[in-house]
Structure formats: C-alpha cells, structure tokens
Chain A
C-alpha cells in the first residue's frame, strides 16, 4: 500500500508480432517453392508460393519500417559505416534485402517458364536466405538476457518450426483439392506443428521452474487474457488440435479436415507470436 512505482511502456508492440507472423509465412512459402524442385507433388505450388512470398515481403518490410519511430532512417541499417554486427537486427536487415533480391531474380527466372538449373539454384538460395529470417527474428528475442522466455536457445528453432508450419498451412490452402500436394503438405504440417508443441512444452517447463522473474512471467503467460491467447488459442486450439486432426486426416485422407487444421495452425501461430512477444515484456512494466 502507498507504494510509488513508475509505469514504463513495453518496448515492442503488437505490430512486431504481425511482422513475425508475416515473415514466418513467407519463409515457409519459400521452402515450399524450393521443395517443388525436389518433390514433384509440390510442383503446382512453385510459382504461387514464390509470388506470394515476395508480396508478403513487401507487406512485412512496410510493417517493420512503419514500426520505427524514424521510418526513413531504415536506410541507416544498410549503411556499412553504421552497421553494428553485435545486433541481430543488423544481420536481419541485410538478410531481408538479400532475400528480396534473390526472390526477384528467382521470379524473373520462373517467368521464363522452363525448369532450368539456374531456376533450381535460385530457388535454393532464396530458401536458404528465407531460413535466415525466422532464425534472426528468434535471435532478436533470444539475445535479451534479462527477459524470461525470450532468453532461451530454442527461440530461433521455434520460429523456424512455426515458419514451416504456417508456410505449409498457407500452401495447403492454396493447393485446394490437389490430393498429391495435400499429402505432402499434411506431413509437413503435422511434424512441424508437433515440433512446435514439443518446444513450447520445454519453454513452459523451464520457465515455470526458473527464478522469480521466470515464475512471474509463467503466471502472466498462463492466466487472464494472455493465458487465453497463449494457452487457449496458441497451444490448445492452434497446436494440439491441428496435430490431432492431422493425425486423423492421415488415416482418413480428408481434405476438409486438412483445411481446418491449416486454418487452426495459422490462428495458433499468430497467437503464439503475439503472446511470446508481449507476455515476457509485462513483468518489467513496473520495475
């Protein structure tokens, strides 16, 4: 009673979570576009995935720039005189630009309409650069040593798994009734979402059994509205339910079930990113 504390706003707001979501989907789509060169069943997705991933890059890039309090100074992140490579953001800025350039070159090659060796190589380069995007966004959180949950080595791995899951979910929605493609995408969705589940369990375990900051963050993440978003939508509806459905669909080959699972995965991955970004920032609000 009668305490005097000072309110400090959180550093990163929800728009950053939307950016994470968009960047995850575009990375997953790039993996699929490259996958189409190796797995013939994914061939119908090649162009669609490449175009959509470039469009999402434009949206994600604009979101990121708009989130800066000095939007025009985003160019500073590309100035070699300023860049500081101890920050994952610097690597991220270079990664985004390199991915954008590779994507455009890849799409130009695709427009020629032939299955060229150069096309396959560009698909591989684009996919590798796309892999860097969820990794850097994961590191973006991991490096903050004072934030429970963020400061865990699994964060980049979680973001890669989420990227595969959400990219495959969008791929599944794009594939419609194509049974061959759906069969492959079902496997991708099932195992990546199961992987997300395993990582979440380990994060929750280490957070709950951690120090006082971890323990309090666990409480914030698992109760009230944040608990509803993280546990209810993110873990139960967006991870456990689609894994169960995909497992059943695996037996029964139901396209409708796959579509619903894909939508749940997208909903869940959006919720998880929001909760993982905002939840661990709450504790410091009144420190």
Chain B
C-alpha cells in the first residue's frame, strides 16, 4: 500500500507518492531543489541538514518522508527573506561567523529555533542550542557572539 504523504515546506503544499522511507533531505534537496539544506554526514551527527519541523529543530537526514506527513517544515530558503532570517544572516555576516559556510545554513536554523523560544539567550544557552551542529572551521566563538548579536539587534522581532 502506498499512501500519499502531504506536508508543507516553506508554506507550500507538497505531495509525495513514493517510498515513505525516502529520506526527507533527499526530497528537499533533489525534488524541491532546496540545496541550502546541506548533507554533512547523513547520520544525524553534524546538523548541517537542520530544518525546523513543527517548530522544532531536527536533522532532515534521519527523518523518513513518511514521518513528515501533516507537518510544517521550514528550511533556510523559507526564512532567509523574512525579517528574522535577515536579522540572523546579517548578524552572522557582520559578526564573522562564516568561514567555509557548509555548516552555516544549519547554524542559522539552530539560531532561529533558539531565538524563537528564548529572546535573551546567555552564552551558555547558545552553546547548548548549537551543540548538535558541528563546525570544523570557526571554533564556534564567533558563531556564538553572532547569535548574541542577532538577539540584541532583533530586539522586538523576537518577542
């Protein structure tokens, strides 16, 4: 039996009729062309493929598409032109958070998920929130301070 899986990605309805065990990341990247979702490990260890599913930060490489049925999914493409997305990406740019960039869309998603919940995160809160996202380039300090910058600059945006 092959049920149809229906969900929303960045506000658009997506219908999928295929093997429900197909990895969500493959649907996002290959079928929908959302290549801002990066694959760094394919096993839930690096966070490069982070997306927000029903308000929660998850790694799309270990989620079968079947488990996305009925959900609302946000990828970097869905937030980058929103005021919040612009706030975070500009803070990352100005704060020197970006090096090779491969981890960065996932980091932006992690920052987004954090700031939605916690408008005034401490350094510790931020380190915890991005602890599932591996960055091999930056040593994290400038990512952490850039998230702080986004929280400060965003102000009311996050209320």
The answer to whether A and B come from one shared complex is no
Which chain A residues have a beta carbon within 8 Å of chain B's beta carbons?
none
Which chain B residues have a beta carbon within 8 Å of chain A's beta carbons?
none
